[in-house]
Amino acid sequence: METWLPSLLTETPELGFDLAIKLSRVAVKKTQPDEQIRLRLREVYEKDADALIASSQVVAINFQTVAAANGYWRT
Amino acid sequence: METWLPSLLTETPELGFDLAIKLSRVAVKKTQPDEQIRLRLREVYEKDADALIASSQVVAINFQTVAAANGYWRT
Amino acid sequence: METWLPSLLTETPELGFDLAIKLSRVAVKKTQPDEQIRLRLREVYEKDADALIASSQVVAINFQTVAAANGYWRT
Amino acid sequence: METWLPSLLTETPELGFDLAIKLSRVAVKKTQPDEQIRLRLREVYEKDADALIASSQVVAINFQTVAAANGYWRT
Amino acid sequence: METWLPSLLTETPELGFDLAIKLSRVAVKKTQPDEQIRLRLREVYEKDADALIASSQVVAINFQTVAAANGYWRT
Amino acid sequence: METWLPSLLTETPELGFDLAIKLSRVAVKKTQPDEQIRLRLREVYEKDADALIASSQVVAINFQTVAAANGYWRT
């Protein structure tokens, strides 16, 4: 069975950060499934400081989840 | 007794993410129970980058809860 | 002694979600105690996508608290 | 020695919620110490749905802290 | 070696709250190091309800961190 | 193998705060990889109080993660 999210565990913090970005994007995708519309919106918000900061906040929240799941990669 | 939220436990992370989306939508539904109004609003915010990012933030917060409830599906 | 918040413990996740909504509303009530003004504002924000999303975010934060208090209703 | 915040512990959840409101207000007070200006601003945001929702979000975040401090008043 | 943040531990909750405010301000300072610009911006947002509420939210988030670090000053 | 995020562990709280800022910036960079555009946006939001406060909120969220990873540098 295929899944876009097999696990929250990643080998490294960097891969965990990438997963946090993925979680943020999938949430948008599930609300707006039309890729054409998403691409058009992306062109706008990519050049908008407020939207970029808001995006980075979503990533930060998701990274909290992924980091906790991985025991903060302490060992 | 029927309930829309029998449990926070899900078998997989992906199902947990879907539950986080459901929690986000039910919160809106409880504030605005009129489906016609919700559908009209949806047409607007689906094409609004800021609203989509804000939505994905609510999903991220709810996913923190669901992931913690499931022990991050570690095993 | 009467209280609007006797406990954070609820029997089910659904009742916990309802409590999270209640916590969100009481916070507004404590800042704006005038019910007439609150009702007038409600008419506006009920039809405003951004306000609905922001409301659902407050519910999500309060649900984190209630869910943690209840050990995520795991058993 | 006097202090506005002797402890995060409260006897009941309701008193904990009141403390969360207090924490939210003191943060504003420390940024804008002039009471006249705060009162003037209050008149505005008390009638603004977005500001009320934003305020209730700050209360929700502070209530997470107070509730955790009190072990969620479980016993 | 001097540092503006030797520790997250404080003797009292009130000092912890002050540290949360400090963390919030230093984050702004690191993004906008020019004190003149910061002072000019401060004059504006000090009189803006939305900005004050947003500031108090950052303090609330930082206070969560400081309070957790101090075991909520429970003893 | 090089990585921008080898670990969430830092020797001091101050270095942890710097890492939180780095996490916030990398999230923006991953959404807007064009450095020229980022620099142009930076010139705008550096002088915008709301954007600065929003930025400091993202730092606060990331600092929660880094501080938890480091056991709050308690020892």
Is F35 part of a structural domain of the chain?
yes
Among F13, C55, B60, F49, smallest CA distance to E55 is for F49
| Neighbors of chain D with 3 or more C-beta pairs under 8 Å | C, E
pLDDT at C1 over 70: no
Is C3 part of a structural domain of the chain?
no
Q: Cβ contact (<8 Å) for F63 and E65?
A: yes
Contact D31, E55 (CB under 8 A): yes
Is F3 part of a structural domain of the chain?
no
Q: Provide the number of structural domains found in chain A.
A: 1
Is D18 part of a structural domain of the chain?
yes
Question: What local confidence, expressed as pLDDT, does residue D75 receive?
Answer: 84
Task: Give the mean model confidence (pLDDT) for residues A60-70.
Answer: 98
pLDDT at C75 over 90: no
**Residue with tokens 């016609």, as numbered in its chain:** B36
Is A22 part of a structural domain of the chain?
yes
pLDDT tens per residue across span F21-62: 999 999 999 999 999 999 999 998 999 999 999 999 999 999
pLDDT tens per residue across span A7-32: 999 999 999 999 999 999 999 999 99
pLDDT at A1 over 80: no
The parent domain of residue B22 ranges over: 13-73
pLDDT band, very low/low/confident/very high, at D41 (cuts 50, 70, 90)? very high
Two tokens, residue D39 = 């009162």
Query: What is the Cα–Cα distance from D23 to D33, expressed in whole angstroms?
Result: 15
Residues in Cβ contact with E14 at an 8 Å cutoff, skipping those fewer than 6 apart: D3, D4, D5, D6
| CA angle D1–D6–D7, rounded 5-degree value | 155
pLDDT band, very low/low/confident/very high, at A41 (cuts 50, 70, 90)? very high
Task: Give the mean model confidence (pLDDT) for residues B14-32.
Answer: 97
Query: What is the Cα–Cα distance from C42 to C9, expressed in whole angstroms?
Result: 28
Residues in Cβ contact with A56 at an 8 Å cutoff, skipping those fewer than 6 apart: F24, F27, F28, F31, F58
Query: What is the Cα–Cα distance from A6 to B72, expressed in whole angstroms?
Result: 12
Task: Give the mean model confidence (pLDDT) for residues D43-66.
Answer: 96
Query: What is the Cα–Cα distance from F56 to E9, expressed in whole angstroms?
Result: 21
Enter the ipTM. Answer: 0.95
pLDDT tens per residue across span E36-50: 999 999 998 999 999
Question: What local confidence, expressed as pLDDT, does residue F75 receive?
Answer: 84
SS3 call for D32: coil
C-alpha distance from residue D58 to each of A41, D64, E64, F37 (Å): 30, 10, 12, 33
Residue of B nearest to C72 (CA): B69
Is D67 part of a structural domain of the chain?
yes
Q: Cβ contact (<8 Å) for E64 and F61?
A: no
Shortest Cα distance from F30 to chain A (angstroms)?
Answer: 8
C47: contact with B, CB 8 A cutoff: yes
Is E1 part of a structural domain of the chain?
no
pLDDT at C73 over 70: yes
Q: Which of E43, E44, E61 to mutate to test the interface with F (most CBs of F within 10 A)?
A: E61
> Model pTM greater than 0.90?
yes
Q: Cβ contact (<8 Å) for E55 and F53?
A: yes
Is E32 part of a structural domain of the chain?
yes
